[in-house]
Amino acid sequence: MPARLSPRQILDRLVAFPTVSRDTNLPLIDWVEDYLDSHGVAAHRVWNADRTKASLYAHIGPAVDGGVVLSGHSDVVPVDGQAWSSDPWTVTERDGRLYGRGTCDMKGFVALALAAVPLALDAGLKRPLQLALSHDEEVGCTGAPPMIAEMARSLPRAAAVIVGEPSRLRVVTGHKGGTGFRVHVKGFEVHSSLIHTGVSAIMAAAPLIDFANRVNAANAARPPATLAQPFDPPWTTLHVGMIQGGTAHNITAADCRFSCEIRVVPGEDMEDWVAALEGQVAQAVAGMQAIRPQTGITLERFFSVPPLRPEAEGAAEALVRHLTGDNGIHVVSYGTEAGQFQAEGYSTVVCGPGDIAQAHQPDEYLEVSEFDAGWSLMQRLVAMLT
């Protein structure tokens, strides 16, 4: 008979795998697959293009529709440059908190979902439990869509999806959509005393960056739409998070690179905002090429995550409100794979232990009380499926 691990023992194992998004997650996937196999559960991998990473899904219980998906991600953000009080890859309990990279975001939930597997097998489910564990969520939810599509094709259709991002176990029914671009401005170098004969990539980038400032100010000044009102902030935002460029103070910059993200409230079309950015780029390029035709700007779209929209009489919302007793209205401004499940036709909510304010922080932690409450929720879910 396989050894039954507690949720805490599983969490210890998961955190010990340094699954930073830039690195492989396969040692963790190997361990999860072996764990499921030890309980007689078959796992299915969905590989990335170069087979350095994989997502994983599994089905527990009868081959019928109407089950519940527990969805999480395997990757975490880096700890580089952060001041930790303890080893980030070892769960350390202090003052009622479980410290470690990913305890909150979101290996705590994944540990609870895995611990529920033998519980579900013993219970004799009438409706199935399905597990979904994606890769590369932290770099734009890029690993989830192929996994979701394969689950939709190959598994009985689930009635509800619970994405276990940290929400303090509150029922989150909406989140913003998001997309991101890597922007490369190609200028033309001349001595800065002859600036009129060259094109500074940095100075050409400046109006595009200021476009984000102007959009944010204009959106903040407008009364928010009904769907946007619960969000903080209740408007679509543009943000430039990284920039680099230039060679010397007296040379017009040949290159400037920056990243730009757009977070869109439900009810607005993300592609309209993309078109607005592309319009600004086209205007900038026309001015640059009037001076030097070989200059230009390229946009590389590196992620796109649809919003999670509140559902009218949603099955997932009704289920998780019953499990938690939470009847509040909750939305978040970050993106998750919940919008991707919903786009595939699944009724979906976000609900997991932990506070998003702790995610990505040095000394990231999950309250022991919330971890325990999450385990109680899993037990209630299994009983409901029985």
Identify any residues that bridge with 358 across adjacent strands, giving them in sequence order: none
Catalytic residue among 105, 137, 268, 317: 137
Contact yes or no for 183/255 (Cβ under 8 A)? no
Q: How far is it, in rounded angstroms, from Cα 76 to Cα 18?
A: 8
Residues in the chain: 386
Q: Is 271 a known active-site residue?
A: no
Q: Which one of the listed residues 75, 105, 165, 261 is annotated catalytic?
A: 75
Q: Please report where in the chains the tokens 């170098």 appear, as a residue.
A: 189
Quick one: residue 363, left, alpha or beta (phi over 0 = left, psi -120 to 50 = alpha)?
left
- Residue (of 140, 181, 80, 63) closest to 305 by Cα position: 140
Strands (E), 31-83: 43-47, 54-60, 68-73
Burial class of residue 122 (count of CB atoms within 10 Å of its CB; 0-12, 13-18, 19+): exposed
Phi first, then psi, for residue 278 (nearest 5°) are: -65, -35
User: Which residue reads 């529709």 in tokens?
Assistant: 65
Q: How far apart are CA 341 and CA 110, in angstroms?
A: 17
Residue 30 is among the residues annotated as catalytic for this protein: no
Distance from C-alpha of 75 to C-alpha of 70, rounded to nearest angstrom: 16
Which residues are annotated as catalytic?
75, 137
